[in-house]
Amino acid sequence: MNNPVDLVSNAFTGKHPAFMPYFTLGYPDYERSLQILEACAAAGSDMMELGMPFSDPLADGPTIQHSSQIALQNGMNVARCLEAIAELRTRGVTIPLLLMGYYNPILAYGETRFAREAVDAGANGFIIPDLPPEEASTLETECQQHGLALTYLLAPTSTEARIKLVAKKASGFVYLVSLTGVTGERIQLPKTLSEFVKRVRHHIHHPLAVGFGISTPVQAQQVGEIADGVIVGSKLITLAREADNPAEACGTFVHNMITALHSNEKA
């Protein structure tokens, strides 16, 4: 049986680039966040990034910051996020689930406990934007012992030395931040994105997934031409905030994004 990190890697082996939606656990409330994630999975997501709310989310723009604040007010914490993963598994969600969160709550919870309970709940790995690879050795060891992916981020400003370091430490995939800045919807993709992906691919053979600033099917298709995966978050939060039926709206959006990615199908 494949371990959790293998399932993450395998999510990139389909005929089209992998699609990975992000959504904040506990927004607009606990139950509706699970319903939205169920809808995203049913619509064909290849894996999902589940946001653990934090009071100071440095990498996130106003949309996700707001959702995190609401989720915290709703009582979300590390333990409740782990419960959410287990509940999604109980409801039949089988695709890889990665917890995206910041390091301080994990450190306070205890890295060993966090990794053990995450794998027991059914998580496949972690994305921790404020934990650089140079400082991740203890959590990295815990992830290796439990077969969990620990995904590192690279930005357009990343040096060749940092890219080579991530190449050595990567598991599952590498998250490419499309721009210098925070998450959020953008009118157009950075003109330098293609060159950035090429620069990273020269050193890294793991799948490359691009996030930040992607919000339309056209943008997803464009990213799918150069990368192995597409990550979208802020747009889903906006849909959940504005729609009468958040789960249905988010599911339809995911379906449309994946349909666009079918134009990037491999021969």
Active centre residues (catalytic): 49, 60
Strands 229-232 and 18-24: parallel
DSSP, res 26: T
Cβ pair 183, 64 in contact under 8 A: yes
The tokens for 93 are 């969600």
Looking at the chain, which runs of residues are DSSP E strands? 18-24, 48-51, 97-100, 125-127, 149-151, 153-154, 174-177, 208-211, 229-232
Do the Cβ atoms of 173 and 203 come closer than 8 Å?
no
**What sign does the CA torsion over 261, 68, 106, 95 have?**
negative
Question: ω before 28 within 30° of 0 (cis)?
Answer: yes
